[in-house]
Amino acid sequence: MTHPKEETTLIIVKPDAVHRGLVGEVVTRFERKGLKIVGMKMVQLEDALIDAHYAHIKDKPFFGGIKTFMKKSPVIIMALSGIGAVAATRLIVGPTKAYEAPAGTIRGDLSLSTQSNIVHASDSVESAKVEVERFFGSKEILEYKRNDFDFISAEEVF
């Protein structure tokens, strides 16, 4: 059973993180925040899925480079759930331009690039819904309550 304020968001651990052995580090940061993994898989992205996911920049001159980059290796796709999950993941990830990302964020600690910036994170509740459905079938998202949920997501009592 989920909390009424819970959201689900999408994270893609990109090829640079896979090649650099940073998958565990990335997953750990989200779990330590209190987000729960409700879906996770390793996939080799194909053209149609990349085209759909990056449709908003498909006509940009740099799209070909992004497409090539995203096919360099398998990626890890995660659906994360929690109260305010979209905003929480964006905070943990940091700005797209990793060289501008503050220390303590995934991008600020692990990258200097705009393209090779370790992860993709949904940027809104609306896009998260679309992106989770794009990458996961309904039977691939699993619902459960973390044992520590009441301590992580407790409402203020004062």
pLDDT at 149 over 50: yes
Q: Which domains does the chain have, with CATH numbers?
A: 6-94+121-143 (3.30.70.141)
Say how far apart CA 3 and CA 35 lie, in whole Å.
13
pLDDT at 1 over 50: no
Q: What is the pLDDT of residues 86-96, one digit of tens each?
A: 999 999 999 99
Residue 44 structure tokens: 């080799």
Q: Which residues participate in catalysis according to the annotation? A: 120
Length of the chain in residues, anyone? Answer: 158
pTM for the model stands at 0.93
State the sign of the Cα–Cα–Cα–Cα dihedral 125, 25, 120, 108.
Answer: positive
Q: What is the pLDDT of residues 25-37, one digit of tens each?
A: 999 999 999 999 9
The pLDDT, as a whole number, for residue 155 is 65
Q: Are strands 36-43 and 6-13 parallel, antiparallel or unpaired?
A: unpaired
Q: What percent of the chain has pLDDT over 70?
A: 96
Question: Cα torsion at 17, 22, 27, 28 (round to 10°)?
Answer: -150
The pLDDT, as a whole number, for residue 75 is 98
Distances (CA, A) of 108 to 9, 12, 13, 148: 21, 17, 15, 28
